[in-house]
Amino acid sequence: MPALLDHCDIKILLHELTHLFHNICSVTKWSRFHGTSCDEADYVEAVSQMMEYWAWEPEFLRRFSKHYKTGEPIPENKLYALIDTRWDELGTDKLGQVFLGLFDMTIHNTADGNYKVDELYNRMQNDIVLSNFGDAKVFKVATCEHLMSAYAGTYYAYLWAETISADMFMSRFKKDGIDDPKTGMDFRREILCPGGSREAMVSLKRFLGRKPNSEAFINMLTP
């Protein structure tokens, strides 16, 4: 049976697969710091978020994007039309991440837990994302399982991690080529292998050759 993955599925697959790579390729003395066992949540997510950039590279998409019956490759006009959707509603998406990060910190910053989380969720979403997504009866907050897991109080790391992932991809893989063997080996040796056994800044500086910055992320926000 064909997988028939849509583009969103491809991004998720690449993201989660890289968490797996992080654990498989990690070489550490203590299991506590192996792979994704890192106290710096923004760094852990940045590693997997970087791999999502492959889902927007035409040379990567051409390798498997074809008709599941005829094997006909995806037409070039459709391929680039898909890539152009990258910036559709990008502002709303980033505001959504800002909203979830702030909501997460709000509900975890109370001594008595005296919040009506459903009403708070809807109010903050409407105020920050600037769209009305329904009333309190929907209880959409129940879909945010990350807020009650190891990411409790640190969901903001997902958006912050995007500054790191953009820098890693644009400064190395986009510049040198997504199939460049040296860049790939540097990524494996300096990012994947150490896991959480050393500070993220050390790994990033060794991979990038400098301290990371947000320039690539800011440039990515516009076509």
Angle, in degrees to the nearest 10, between helices 157-168 and 200-208? 20
> Radius of gyration (Cα) for the chain, nearest Å?
19
At 132, list the tokens.
């009305």
Could you tell me if 175 and 161 are in contact, meaning their C-beta atoms sit under 8 angstroms apart? no
Could you tell me if 192 and 47 are in contact, meaning their C-beta atoms sit under 8 angstroms apart? yes
Strand partners, 66: 73
Could you tell me if 220 and 166 are in contact, meaning their C-beta atoms sit under 8 angstroms apart? yes
What's the CA gap between 186 and 166, in Å, rounded? 17
Residue 144 phi, psi (nearest 5): -100, 70
Helix (H, G, I), strand (E, B) or coil at 67: coil
Closest CA to 7 of 48, 57, 47, 76: 57
Instruction: Report the run of H or E that residue 80 belongs to, with start and end.
Output: helix 76-84
At 68, list the tokens.
């599941």
215 in active site: no
Helix (H, G, I), strand (E, B) or coil at 73: strand
Catalytic residues: 16
